[in-house]
Amino acid sequence: MTPLEAGLVRYLESHLQRASSVAITNLSRIPGGASRETWMFDASWEEHGKALTAPFVLRKDPPASLVESERAVEYAFYSAFERSSVPVPHMRWLEEDPSHLGSPFFIMDRINGSETNTRRILEPDLDPSRDFIARRMYEILAAISTFDWEGSAISRVMKPPPLEECWKHELDYWEGMIDANELSPQPIARAAIRWLRANPPPPPKRVSVVHGDYRVGNFLYNSEGIHGVLDWEMAHLGDPIEDLAWSFMELWEAGQPRRKGGIIDEDAAVRIFEGASGLKVDRDALHWWDVFSGVKAQGIWLTGARSLNDGRTGELILIYTSYALINLQDEILLRSLGKGA
Amino acid sequence: MKPDPPKILLVVAGALFGQLLPEVRTPFGQQTVTLAGGVLGMIAQEYDRAAARLVEENEVLVALLGTARPVVTAADLRERIESATAHVPARDLHVSALQAANDGLRSVLIDVQAEVESLAGTAARAVNGLIWEELRESTRRRHLETGRG
């Protein structure tokens, strides 16, 4: 038994009430997960003489990552959407004490029979389902954007920014991340930040939940639709157009030019979002949030590069993002600013 | 040293993809091997060009900042232009030395662009246009083939 398996057994023995003979099987790390280590495992135990099993996912803090965020905040956003029209896995336990598994973590139920792969969604056997998945993607985003978060678990971990400062709140944060983490000067990101400050978007009509990384790759899908929205580590309160613009970023087009996430045209996605949310998408605001998305993404890649450079992590995915994505993001930012080749 | 290091890196990447990857059973292990091979491929591209790229870019930046200097009005920024352009190594071709000079030049370039954006007149606009052209070119110099579709 590995130390992680042994730690999980001890933890479940103390947290599954009236459980005995707890065993862990099929523990394996899930690819991706550049912000937290994500592991899947099956647990079995006995309760009142009955044998029970359940599939779980463990999200565990790494020594360093692309995104430095509070797991309690992510847990709260997941919890807030349980029993809503936004599908999310059921949360089981949030553990801040690092003594159990070496770092803080949370455990949630695993949704089987679906996947997050950004390439798989483009394969021919999913041709009949792709339009439906794309429609559901933007209907679910509309449900996130119109979710009544006041009084939910979210309001216990986060204060809303003033309407007119939603853009500034996010831009200040991500400019600060670039200030703290750049290993070399970033003239393109800095020019983009100056443009963003000189051309602020109109305030949104409401402060919404913003997932913060809403895109193909961060929801569980199969031919039947979308079954779970994942990776809420950058979730916050703000302008709903932020999520829409992030999902449209050129970086996610997966070799399908102007197909957002590789699966839908921008105008079609906006129509679905507007119809389902009742919110009007201001095209100038969408452009502002597109440029912002490029700055934010650059902040994420630079944070990963810094973690790697400082020896706080040896995750190979951070070498990839440092080498492959920082310049690519600059190329995309130039196009977003109308300065591309 | 022969074979050339980029060739060695590509051979190692080929071994990772062709020999090790089929043996790896877990999805996380497969991702790790794929990332390792991809990173070696990118380093192979950068290895041969890095010094040439930085020498070329530093020369372009020195000339561009020299063009910008008469347009810039802030005295301290003019001094920073002079200091950064004077610290480009003429003989030290270590990538670390060239990169340090490049960092200094691009740091000043950021502040020069911020200043000319705030200035009226054709001279300032012309310098800003030259800076944007250089920023476009800088991404071409750094572009890596990653196999991303």
pLDDT in tens, B60-110: 999 999 999 999 999 999 999 999 999 888 889 999 999 999 999 999 999
Q: Is A85 on the interface with B (CB under 8 A)?
A: no
Beta bridge partners of B34: none
Q: What are phi and psi of A183, to 5 degrees?
A: -95, -20
Q: Is A9 on the interface with B (CB under 8 A)?
A: no
Predicted pLDDT at B101: 96
Predicted pLDDT at A67: 59
Q: What are phi and psi of A253, to 5 degrees?
A: -75, -10
Tokens of B59: 């020369």
C-beta of residue A242 within 8 angstroms of C-beta of residue A170? yes
Predicted pLDDT at A64: 57
- Over chain A (341 residues), the average pLDDT of each successive run of 10 is 94 90 94 80 94 95 65 93 96 93 94 93 96 98 97 94 97 98 98 98 96 97 97 96 98 90 97 97 97 98 93 86 93 96 70
Predicted pLDDT at A25: 95
Predicted pLDDT at B117: 97
Tokens of B123: 């001279």
The alpha-carbon gap from A169 to the nearest alpha carbon of chain B, in Å, equals 22
| ipTM field | 0.94
With residues binned 3-state (H G I as helix, E B as strand, rest as coil), the percentages for chain B, rounded to 5, are 80, 0, 20
Mean pLDDT of B140-145: 93
| Whole-angstrom distance, CA of residue A291 vs CA of residue A330 | 11
| Whole-angstrom distance, CA of residue B39 vs CA of residue B19 | 17
Are B26 and A28 a contacting pair at CB < 8 A? yes
Predicted pLDDT at A182: 98
- Verify cis geometry, omega within 30 degrees of 0, for the bond prior to B3: yes
State whether residue A187 is helix, strand or coil: helix
Q: Which residues of A touch B110 (CB under 8 A)?
A: 185-187, 190-191
State whether residue A47 is helix, strand or coil: strand
Predicted pLDDT at A122: 95
Rg (CA), chain A: 20
Mean pLDDT of B39-57: 95
pTM of the model: 0.94
Predicted pLDDT at B149: 45
The C-alpha angle with vertex A77 and arms to A138 and A53, in degrees rounded to 5, equals: 100
Q: Give Cα separations from A188 to A326, B83, B102 (angstroms).
A: 11, 22, 15
Sign for the pseudo-dihedral over CA of A58, A62, A68, A71:
positive
**Centroid of chain to Cα B106:** 10
DSSP codes of every residue in A207-260: -EEE-SS-STTSEEEETTEEEEE---TT-EEE-THHHHHHHT-GGGSTT-TTEE
| Whole-angstrom distance, CA of residue B7 vs CA of residue B40 | 10
Residue among A297, A211, A214, A290 nearest A245 (CA): A290
The alpha-carbon gap from A157 to the nearest alpha carbon of chain B, in Å, equals 32
Predicted pLDDT at A33: 61
Mean pLDDT estimate for chain B: 94
Residue A67 exposure: Cα atoms within 13 Å on the Cβ side: 18
C-beta of residue A200 within 8 angstroms of C-beta of residue A291? no
Are A316 and B114 a contacting pair at CB < 8 A? no
Q: Is B117 on the interface with A (CB under 8 A)?
A: yes
C-beta of residue A241 within 8 angstroms of C-beta of residue A282? yes
Residue among A75, A17, A14, A5 nearest A43 (CA): A5
Are B143 and A327 a contacting pair at CB < 8 A? yes
Q: Is B30 on the interface with A (CB under 8 A)?
A: yes
Are B39 and A323 a contacting pair at CB < 8 A? yes
| Whole-angstrom distance, CA of residue A213 vs CA of residue A231 | 7
State whether residue B79 is helix, strand or coil: helix
Tokens of B143: 């572009």
The alpha-carbon gap from B56 to the nearest alpha carbon of chain A, in Å, equals 17
Q: What is the DSSP letter of B119?
A: -
Predicted pLDDT at A207: 97
Predicted pLDDT at A220: 97
C-beta of residue A14 within 8 angstroms of C-beta of residue A46? no
